Amino acid sequence: MKKPRLVVLTGAGMSAESGISTFRDSGGLWDKYPVMEVASHEGFVRNPALIHEFYNTRRRELVNARPNAGHTGLKELEQWYDVDIITQNVDDLHERAGSLKVLHLHGELMKVRSMKHPERVYTLGPDNLSTSVDTRDSYGDPVRPHIVFFQEAVPNIEPAIELVEKADVLVIIGTSMAVYPAAGLVNYARRGIPVYYIDPNPAPVPDGVTVLRTTATQGVKELIDILRP
């Protein structure tokens, strides 16, 4: 018997309870760092060393973090649903919680790629978290974070749209819905399917969306009670 398709769109709030900073909450990353200096294409061209160090710092934070009950609750839903996670997050906490299908829209923090052959992508381990402008791959080419910077295209947006269009249930967790094209995905859900939005400080969303005004860990627990067959 085919399981119904559950698509989950997650943002930084999904990882907040794992101790990973969000971007736009007070005290968030964009309060501490000038976003266009550390996360944009122009910024990388202007000062690559600063960007390498910014992502080195975030990798060191990530290796000390653990998936929270929200991440593991989404894994639990796989027993009843064919779950696809589309995440704006660059952390690997969904994967570490055991989720089988995770599509990253904005890249992956634990990966870097060749600047000459972008198809050459390398996964960093806990014992080699840092890169710099002098880092070279085995071909002798410089590498860059495998992150989608502002001002760069989002290569996975098409497959993400296709997943949302096929969803039988859509869940949005922990995103301010501030950054496109990710924020526009909710508009591709088929009319009439149930849509849930879990966020303690939710952004405005289209009519018909059920808002659970709570945290990811509490909201996913409530969601399991709602969605359990």
Positions 32 through 71 that interact with ligand APR (CB under 6 A) = none
Binding flag, residue 20, ligand APR (CB under 6 A): no
Binding flag, residue 23, ligand APR (CB under 6 A): yes
Interface region with ligand APR, contact rule CB under 6 A, candidates 58-66, 125-133, 168-176, 184-192: 168-176
Task: Give the residue numbers marked as catalytic.
Answer: 106
In terms of C-beta distances under 8 Å and separation of at least 24 residues, what long-range contacts does 182-189 make, across chains too? 182/9, 182/11, 182/86, 182/88, 182/105, 182/106, 182/154, 182/157, 185/9, 185/86, 185/160, 185/161, 186/9, 188/161, 188/164, 189/164, 189/165
Binding flag, residue 72, ligand APR (CB under 6 A): no
Secondary structure (H, E, C), 114-161: ECCCCCCEEECCCCCCCCCCCCECCCCCEEEEEECCECCCCCCHHHHH
Q: Which of 45, 100, 178, 226 binds ligand APR (CB under 6 A)?
A: 178
Which CB atom, from 126 or from 181, has the smaller least distance to ligand APR? Answer: 181
List the 195-198 sheet strands across, edge first: 102-104, 82-87, 5-10, 169-173, 195-198, 210-212
Binding flag, residue 175, ligand APR (CB under 6 A): yes
Binding flag, residue 199, ligand APR (CB under 6 A): yes
For the record, the structure tokens of 75 come out as 């894994």
With contacts defined by CB under 6 A, how many residues of the chain interact with ligand APR?
22
Q: Which of 201, 204, 207, 229 binds ligand APR (CB under 6 A)?
A: 201
CA proximity to 106, closest of 22, 205, 182, 204: 182
Binding flag, residue 92, ligand APR (CB under 6 A): no
Q: How far is the CB of 30 from ligand APR (least distance, A)?
A: 7
Q: How far is the CB of 58 from ligand APR (least distance, A)?
A: 11
Q: Which of 18, 22, 99, 131 binds ligand APR (CB under 6 A)?
A: 22
